[in-house]
Amino acid sequence: MDVVDDELDYRSVNLETDLQTCLAFRRDAWKASYGSDETFSAAATIKWFQRIAKHNPESFLLVWHGDRCIGQLEFMPDLKTAEGESFAHINLFYLIPEYRGNGFGQLLHDYVIEALKRWGCRDASLRYIPGNDRAERFYLKNGWYKEGEPTEERGQLMKKNLSKE
């Protein structure tokens, strides 16, 4: 499958119509990170969705390739450090399995990074679960660096300075 950037469409999530898709994508991401969905909580996830959809709908997106929904993005672009500096946290990069490894992940990553820069973010953070070697390689390749030690519950924190790009 060839990747053409203008084939992707990023649309704000409408929880009334998109909830089941978003839950399915989050559940699959959970399985990829933790190896199973035994500890996945749909109720907690729905609460999170409601919070992010209300807080900043432009940062809770479904990704479409033609008429097919292929991914989901969740990020918080308007956080502040104690010193008042803008930073962002990326909560989810998700692609359905058949779109992984074909360059689409890079398009999603680049879209989010450019959006964060437009919001004036100087730095960004994200987490991944150690053992997800594919995610780790992808983030390192894209200039993310590990910060501190991983925790069992929250995984490995990674950061990226956006003002250097």
End-to-end CA distance of the chain: 29
Instruction: Return the residue matching tokens 């809770």.
Output: 60
Percent of residues, the chain, with pLDDT higher than 90: 69
**pLDDT over 80 (residue 5):** no
More confident residue, 165 or 149: 149
pLDDT, one tens digit per residue, over 82-115 is 888 778 999 999 999 999 988 999 999 999 999 9
Helices (H), 56-148: 104-118, 133-141
**pLDDT over 50 (residue 2):** no
Torsion angles phi and psi, residue 102, rounded to 5? -120, 15
Alpha-carbon distance of 123 to 27, in angstroms, equals 28
**pLDDT over 70 (residue 165):** no
Count other C-beta atoms under 10 Å from residue 145's C-beta: 11
pLDDT, one tens digit per residue, over 51-69 is 999 988 899 999 999 999 9
Structural domains in the chain, CATH included, are 5-164 (3.40.630.30)
Q: Rounded mean pLDDT of the chain?
A: 90
Half-sphere exposure of 70 (CA within 13 A, CB side): 20
Task: Read off the pLDDT of each residue in 17-42 and give the average, rounded to a whole number.
Answer: 93
Of 32, 39, 36, 38, nearest to 72 by C-alpha is: 32
**pLDDT over 80 (residue 1):** no
